[in-house]
Amino acid sequence: MKRSEVNSIITDIKEFFVKHQFMLPEWADWAPEEWSGKYETCGEIVDNKLGWDITDFGSGDFNKTGLSLFTIRNGNWDKKDKMYCEKIMVSDEEQETPMHFHWNKTEDIINRGGGNLVMELYNATDDDKLSPEPVTVSIDGVLTTVKAGEPMILKPGQSICLKSRVYHRFYGEKGKGRVLIGEVSLVNDDANDNRFYEKIGRFPDIVEDVKPVHLLVNDYEKYL
């Protein structure tokens, strides 16, 4: 992805958050130079990768395969200082987050507003393939069984609890508009806890055609 594209996406997403009255921490607006010398006080943000996360999953086509995220809070499995995570995300119509599961993380995915969110689910087999068996999940505390891979709809206000080793992919329903998505989960660890069904990249390679407006979580090591 080009940095200019990432900058444009962040500007657009920030406006969408404001439209839905979802406010971010003050440091979400910091320019790169404002991070200088702040590691001593902001180490939790850097080490636990809080902040902006714009990814095309290595596809080269963000509009087709991509996701915009902002991690608001997150802990650390090793330190056991905070064993939970919260994210806010945005998915456009038919913009896919590819099929994956988490080895350890249980998460609630919440439709916070906007359009409808489409989810496709599979249980993982013992050898990490897609099971043809039905999948039973909790929808707002109500046990619900769906056919493997059958698209299911989360309307605004609805949420789903996904336990570890449940494959899932999701995208905004065509014709219903952009979706504001919440995530509340156990600690998020993108380096070790994701299992994508097809081999993809979690973070994009950035072509630095312009300067960043805001740092991404995968920029911290370079800039700090």
**Rounded percentage of the chain residues whose pLDDT exceeds 90:** 93
What mean pLDDT do residues 109-136 have? Answer: 98
Residue 79 has pLDDT above 90, yes or no: no
Q: What pLDDT was estimated at residue 223? A: 82
- Give tens-digit pLDDT for 37-63: 999 999 999 999 999 999 999 999 999
Give the pLDDT score at 89: 98
Look at residue 173 and tell me whether its pLDDT is greater than 90.
yes
**Would you place residue 80 in the very low, low, confident or very high pLDDT band (cuts 50, 70, 90)?**
confident
What mean pLDDT value characterizes the chain?
96
Which residue spans within the chain are E strands per DSSP?
51-55, 67-74, 85-91, 97-102, 107-114, 117-123, 135-139, 142-146, 152-154, 159-162, 166-172, 179-185, 194-196
Q: Which pLDDT band holds residue 224 (cuts at 50, 70, 90)?
A: confident
Sign of CA dihedral 38, 82, 66, 116: negative
Write down the pLDDT at residue 215.
Answer: 97
Residues 6+ apart with CB under 8 A from 31: 213, 214
Walk me through the domains of the chain, giving residue ranges and CATH numbers: 3-223 (2.60.120.10)
Q: In this predicted model, what pLDDT tens digit does every residue of 10-19 receive, in sequence order?
A: 999 999 999 9
Given a cut of 90, whether residue 162 has pLDDT beyond it is yes
Q: Of 64-68, 186-190, 199-203, which gets the smallest average pLDDT?
A: 199-203
The distance of Cα 127 from the centroid of its chain, to the nearest Å, equals 25
Instruction: Give the model's pLDDT for residue 81.
Output: 86
Distance separating alpha carbons of residues 159 and 156, to the nearest angstrom: 9
d(CA 46, CA 189): 13
Other C-beta atoms closer than 10 Å to the C-beta of 195 total: 14
Please report which confidence band the pLDDT of residue 185 belongs to, taking 50, 70 and 90 as the band edges.
very high
